[in-house]
Structure 1
């Protein structure tokens, strides 16, 4: 059974960068997954009131913004078609529209029909962040954040952030396609930050993965010089990992997201691809 990957593309007011085409298709090719890319263009309502009637240029500004959104979406889809053809990835595409405040929610609903989501991540891009948070906490599916500053290839070494929690367990299960393909797995446990459910939990997880025919080792780390989410990424990169797997802590309140500390650290400063599961 082929994995089905979903790639939502945002275009307004901030657009995904061109890097999403290469990175998303690289992950799909590595997994042997089929990729569905959907451009979600912005629908901007024309508020009809006394003030707007005085601003005669408003309808024209809205028309231009929506046209620019569609044009950028078509450009991104063409880039993805080119990359998919080069990497022999089976691709389907679609185009939809949503009101600005509901773009993330539309992406989250669509993501429920796929095995995982691939999300472009650009520093300072509030549109991609809001969409990623909505998918992460609203889709019920794992999501991989793909940093635009990094060219992504094969994922040979996977790091797991392990604290024994329910979301960490789910993240490991959701990462199975990557774990099965990895030549090395490192289980990272932060010591001295909070009480752990089990002192030897990382060793038990590594042993369980080894029994399943995988190559895994447990590594305790200290992040005292960094926020936890940054420290996890720093240690993962230092050990040669090309993917970090972790549980996503947080919940949404009327589309404003209340995040756990490590989750927010990663979203604020993404340094390598991270598979989040909530």
Structure 2
């Protein structure tokens, strides 16, 4: 018997993501039919010495204090996740000590061993954006960004942002296994954002899904004065969707990310759970 396992990576240095977002991400695994594997990353800071600096500031003491704070946060977060999962979720928590600056790359590499990553989101820290970018573009696995306002429930309505591209097709394939039996897929195109390869892309995909036994309908909107990220999220929310699935446009080279407009907007202004595939 097979089972799906979601991966939840949590950095602790220099700042941790808000507890509300972590609780929401952990709880999201249950309705997806996933067990949860959470990793907390304890920082290993470099030891640097300077005769003049050591006279003015106790650098070794500061390093040790920050490492101890990171270690304590790992233990606290494991207890937090355990509390969320206590009654309804199969969860495993581990802690890893990694050199400062390598925790995001380690998270992306570890995510490859799971079905998807669940990434807690908070607009109050850049840590969420950093983790999302590295995992989405470096893991090769789908990732769901989960805001603190998300409420765990079976996914009965998914919106797929559809432009006929390879990454959009991958996002659709990654999202379908998590749709509840008999659930609705709304195929969303934005007519005036960029040239599209056909006049009725949403209708064509909805028809294909219907032939395959899914409940699907086309959905169109216009950009107007909104950004593409606002248009996608506005339309998904106004139609009662619980998840927006979309391709992640961009590439990375030595961690300098060049992001597509929709991806960049989503990563900075997240309003509902969003599945990103690259």
User: Which bracket does the TM-score occupy, shorter chain normalised?
Assistant: over 0.9
Distance 1:27 1:182 in 2: 20
Secondary structure of the corresponding residue to residue 47 of structure 2:
coil
Is this contact kept in 1: 2:22–2:120, CA < 8 A?
no
Distance 2:226 2:62 in 1: 45
Secondary structure of the corresponding residue to residue 213 of structure 2:
coil
Shift of 1:55: 4.1
Is this contact kept in 1: 2:31–2:152, CA < 8 A?
no
Q: Does 1:64 align with 2:65?
A: yes
> Aligned pairs, how many?
277
TM-score, normalised via structure 2 length: 0.94
Name 1:7's counterpart in structure 2.
Answer: 8
Is this contact kept in 2: 1:25–1:83, CA < 8 A?
yes
Structure 1 gap ranges (5+): none
Shift of 1:51: 4.8
Distance 2:55 2:249 in 1: 46
CA deviations 1:91-135 (Å, max 9, x no partner) are 111101223322211100100111100001100311221111100
Name 1:167's counterpart in structure 2.
Answer: 167
Name 1:77's counterpart in structure 2.
Answer: 78
TM-score, normalised via structure 1 length: 0.94
Q: Does 1:33 align with 2:34?
A: yes
Q: C-alpha root-mean-square deviation of aligned residues, in Å?
A: 1.6
Q: CA 1:270 to 1:181, structure 2 compared with 1: closer, same or farther past 3 Å?
A: farther
CA deviations 1:130-165 (Å, max 9, x no partner) are 111100000000000001233343322111100000
Distance 1:142 1:220 in 2: 25
Greater shift, 44-53 or 113-122, is seen at: 44-53
CA deviations 1:237-262 (Å, max 9, x no partner) are 00001100000011112112111110
Q: Does 1:143 align with 2:143?
A: yes
Is this contact kept in 2: 1:14–1:128, CA < 8 A?
no
